[in-house]
Amino acid sequence: MKSQAKVKESALEEEVEQVAEAPAAKRDQQDSGASKEAKPEAAKSAELKPKSKKPHTSLKEHILGKRADTGRDAGPAAKSEPADSPKKPELKSILVRAEAAAAEELERRKQEQALDRTAVAPSARLEAAKAIVSVVVVTRHSSDALDACLAAVLSQTQPFELIVVDNGNAPEVTAGLFALADRDARVVLITGHGDVGYSKACNLGAKAAKGDYICILTPESILPRTALKDLVFEGLSLEKPWILGPKLITPEGFEKTGYRREKLTPWRAAVDALGLARFSSHPAFRGLSQPEETCPDETQEVPVLSGAPLMMPISDYWSIDGMNERYQEYLGSSDFCDRFADAGGRICFVPGLEVLQQPASETRRRSFAAYEKMKILPRYFISNRVKGYPLLVLWLGVAGSWALYGSLYCVLKAKELAVSTTRTMRRSLV
């Protein structure tokens, strides 16, 4: 069968070549015949029209094209394109150009945003340069870390006042704070109230603040000289209300985990408590802390900034009545950020400003931490409007928190009692 098809094809090609080589006049005589006499006047006028400038396709190519194009109409659209016509662009080149156009558009938008952020009136810049920042530092059993923190604040280039809230320090530390307040009029010391908890201490400092902005700071944070000025000018291009938080860096040079966080939900609390993130990299098993590899290059909104530093206009701080004093030690800043966002505020992370974060000195027993979490997690889940969770699921989260941290509290408390009893017995034997 294949040999017969080849013979037919070769015969067809020979026939086409013979026809193509015949003189044009002879072909016209053979093809026209009697129809030449009956040719209408319209056809004659059409012959007088100038021919198309496009290159003429040979008869051989035309016939072979008809034979090859089986199943389709061999009309003008079926003719092969001229050899010198431009080739159609390939799909790959189209995708490359589309990606390049998208990259140019993204770069253009970034430049527009950058111009918008820097388009601040000169009068606003002058006012911002004169604005006073009230820095509130809550201290409790702090020593070396506190000295470095206060020294960094006192070297700031932006006008400021330093409010130190003594939340239960050793007598020698309190005496040093009194001496510092006597030497420097910019330092205000609030003491004598005892350990009232972190949230209430922040509110005490905010009530004494007289500045335009408030910056809540922990004793472990070491600010660069221009940190307050950078944060003030960063907020000029943002619509109020807003909170700004810098990038925290450990002494080893890594980003401190736990500062940028997702919103606290029963599922994320379970993932963190049970360590489920170790078994899967799926986003569903991501805990509260945002990983270091997701750190943005520019200022970006985040759900929660846990802890400090936190910088905002003082009016924005009191717009939601300050910190919730029901959260004494844990989740105070998380609750504050949740309520701030619900009120229409923006919580922004500023990676361009890096603040050194020293290791915190642990002054409370681990059993106290477990007891506090056992109390406040159920309160947070129920009263803090955890959206998207049915009430039954929330109560299951409450029961899980009680069971987990309650059992942990009992174990840690028993261990601490055993250690204390052993020490007492050794002292009595000596």
Residue 184: half-sphere exposure toward Cβ, Cα within 13 Å: 17
Structure tokens at 92: 């790959």
Q: For residues 43 and 48, give the distance between their C-alpha atoms in angstroms, rounded to a whole number.
A: 9
Residue 205: half-sphere exposure toward Cβ, Cα within 13 Å: 32
Q: Produce one character per residue of 312-337: b if its CB has 16 or more CB atoms within 10 Å, e if not.
A: bbbebbebbebbbbbbbbbbbbbbbb
Is 0.85 surpassed by the pTM of this model?
A: no
pLDDT for the residue numbered 259: 85
At position 110, the amino acid (one-letter code) is K
Q: With contact defined as beta carbons under 8 Å apart, do 205 and 138 qualify? A: yes
- Provide the terminal-to-terminal Cα distance of the chain, rounded to the nearest Å: 113
pLDDT for the residue numbered 292: 67
pLDDT for the residue numbered 384: 60
pLDDT for the residue numbered 237: 81
User: What is residue 50's three-state secondary structure?
Assistant: coil
pLDDT for the residue numbered 421: 81
Q: For residues 203 and 322, give the distance between their C-alpha atoms in angstroms, rounded to a whole number.
A: 6
Q: What are the CA-CA distances from residue 349 to residues 26, 35, 117, 301 (Å)?
A: 88, 88, 15, 6
User: What is residue 143's three-state secondary structure?
Assistant: coil
pLDDT for the residue numbered 245: 94
Q: Is 153 exposed, middle or buried (0-12, 13-18, 19+ CB in 10 A)?
A: buried
Q: For residues 59 and 360, give the distance between their C-alpha atoms in angstroms, rounded to a whole number.
A: 91
Structure tokens at 150: 């206060």
Q: Produce one character per residue of 241-274: b if its CB has 16 or more CB atoms within 10 Å, e if not.
A: bbbbbbbbeeeeeebbeebbbebbbbebbbbbbe
Residue 270: half-sphere exposure toward Cβ, Cα within 13 Å: 14
User: Bridge partners of 188?
Assistant: 163
At position 160, the amino acid (one-letter code) is F
pLDDT for the residue numbered 249: 92
pLDDT for the residue numbered 393: 65
pLDDT for the residue numbered 232: 93
pLDDT for the residue numbered 424: 79
pLDDT for the residue numbered 99: 72
Q: What is the pLDDT along the chain (430 residues), one digit of tens a residue?
A: 545 555 555 655 565 455 455 444 444 554 444 444 444 444 444 444 444 444 444 444 544 454 444 444 444 444 444 444 444 456 667 767 777 777 776 666 555 544 345 456 777 777 888 899 999 999 987 767 888 999 999 999 999 999 999 988 888 888 999 999 999 999 999 998 888 888 999 999 999 999 999 999 989 899 999 999 999 999 888 888 999 999 999 988 888 888 888 887 777 777 776 777 677 666 667 777 777 667 888 888 898 898 889 999 999 999 999 998 888 777 888 889 989 998 999 999 999 999 998 877 655 566 666 667 767 777 777 666 555 666 666 667 667 767 776 777 787 778 777 877 887 777 777 6
Beta-carbon contacts of residue 365 (< 8 Å; ≥ 6 apart):
412, 416
pLDDT for the residue numbered 144: 72
Structure tokens at 367: 């059993």
